[in-house]
Every structure is written in structure tokens, then in C-alpha cells.
Amino acid sequence: MLFKMIPSGPLLKEDVRLVLYKKGSKISTSVKVIGLIFLVLPRTSTSSQPSFTSECKMGTRRLGHGTNYHWTEDAELVDLSLPQELTPIPVTIRTELKSVKVNVHETALVVIDMQNDFCEKGGWLDSLGLDWEKDRAPIPPLKRLIPDLRRKGVKIIWVNWGNRKDLANMYPNQMWTSYNVGNGSGLGYGDLNKQGSPILEKASWGSEVVEGLKVEQNQEDILVDKHRFSGFWDTPLDSILKNFGIRNILFAGVNTDQCVLHTLADANFLGYGCIMVKDCVATTSPDYCADATFYNVKGSFGFLTNSDWVIEAFNKVE
């Protein structure tokens, strides 16, 4: 049994057809299919189909954003071989267990929830009566770390909590949790904080990067809105990282034992190398919550380092 998916219009002189053979069928007298086989077959040219060259006068076109993860296309060929344009730049970072080596081109810094609702007077945590100033601890080390990493070519990604205005994707259990944070004051998603801003709403004051780090944002940085404790759940974060060829992630932000931990754990499950920058994370929870998180990160999910060790490592890069 044979199925073919053939392009409906002319694309290239040789374009790609997906051919699916049923398990157990024979391609030839000597080859038997034991699974799915994908073949590239030449198109049968016809006089009624103009050539790609005659229709598209073009040079080489790049498809994709990643430096080492993209295709190229010209009038005759689509190159899927993922050409390695940049020579790998290995960097060895000290961690609490043992050193780890990463490639600069495959490494990103993900900064989680360093935003007004968590880190600023008048934000959600302040409105709940929690010690929001504890969540400002990562600001000074991040102000040193971010420019240094960016100069060396590390992608900076900001993951901030930003709900839909209509809360249409927030399940009842999520709403219940939001109303019972901290002292159970009853301020939850959609309510107003002390600044009069809707709590954790996308494009609101509460979802903006905290003032102390706004200056560190760059037009080449990427902002991802999340709406769960994990930055990967129902967001484009994984697709963005893969599209830029990222394999290893440095984690920073708040809260250590909540959104940072859950995002890091999901990254681990998805196959990324995970490195938490210990002095660049913070939490309003009791100290034992952070201690348990650090224990689990270096025991189950990845590695623990600090901003000094990271800067030391990247300063060795030419």
C-alpha cells in the first residue's frame, strides 16, 4: 500500500515527496519494510510546469533564525543539512558538583518573572502583604551578568507572567490558587494591585520587567508570556529555544521554588542542560523552600553555579 504527499504547485526542479510504505510491504525483492520509510523522489517534469528558475529570480535565501539551525535555498536546491556556520566556542563553568562545558552558540539565559507584580512596591506581592523586596535580590547580579553574556553572543530570554485579559485559559484550579496565595487576602488574577494595574495581566504594569532591569533589555532579546508556574506549559518557549539551536539554559529569576524550579524541571524533561545561577534567583518563601530547591536541582535536574563563576568562564572567551 503506497501513499504519496506531492506538492500541488511547482516549487523546485527537484522537490521533495513524502512516500509512506505500509509495514510488511516490499520495495524490491531484497528489501522489506519494517517501519516507515521516507524517500526523496525526483519530480517528473512536464512542459506545462515552468521551472523554478524562470519563476523565481533569486540568490540564496536563509530559512530560520538559528545561527547553526537553519536551511538555505537557492534556485536549484533546498539545503536541509544544517550547515555549521560558526565554530563551536566551548566554555567551562564551575558548578557546585563539577564543572560543565557548554557551547556559547547553544546557550541561553532565561530570566523568569523579574517583573513589577513580584518585585516592585505596589505590585501583587506587596498588595498581598508579602516581603516583595526579597525578590529584588537578583537585580544587582543580573545587571552584571546580562551585558557580559550578551556581548559573548548568549541569547537573553525574558519569561514573564502575563495572563489573557479575559482569563479564558485559566482553569478553576488556577483561579483558586491565585486567590489563596500568601495570606489568603483574596486578591487574584484580574483584580487590581495597589498600583491599580490588573494582576499579572499581559501588557499591564504588573507584567512589565522590573524597573531595575528594564535598562538591561535589548531589542534582540525575546519576551515570552506565560500563565502557569512553568514557562514551557502552553507557551512557545520550547519552539523558540529549538529554533535558535539552544541546548543549554542558564536560569535566573523568581520565585526560586515555584516558577523557576518548574520551568527548569520541564526544561530537563525536554532534554536541555539546566544550570541554575544561585545568586540570580530569589523567593519570598521560607528559606527551607529555597534549600530544598537547590538540593533537588543539583541532585535531579541539573547544576548550581553563581554569577561570578559564569562571568569568570565567559571572560575567557575571545
Q: What amino acid positions are annotated as catalytic residues?
A: 113, 226, 259
Read off the DSSP letter of residue 297: I
| CA–centroid distance for 144 within its chain | 22
Q: Tell me how crowded residue 253 is: count the other CB atoms within 10 A of its CB.
A: 29
| Other beta carbons less than 10 A from residue 47's beta carbon | 5
H or E stretch at 91: strand 90-93
Pairing of strands 273-282, 303-305: parallel
Question: In this structure, are strands 71-73 and 78-79 parallel, antiparallel, or unpaired?
Answer: antiparallel
Cβ–Cβ under 8 Å, residues 279 and 306: yes
The C-alpha atoms of residue 185 and residue 183 are separated, in whole angstroms, by 6
How far, in Å, CA of 146 to CA of 152, rounded?
10
Strand pairing partners for 248? 107, 273
**Which element (helix H / strand E) includes 109?**
strand 107-112
Residue 74 grid cell:
537557492
Residues 6+ apart with CB under 8 A from 60: 72, 73, 74
Question: Position 270: which residue type?
Answer: L
CA distances from 221 to 125, 214, 216, 227, 270 (A): 26, 12, 10, 20, 22
Closest CA to 101 of 307, 273, 276, 297: 273
- Report residue 194: phi and psi, to 5°: -65, -20
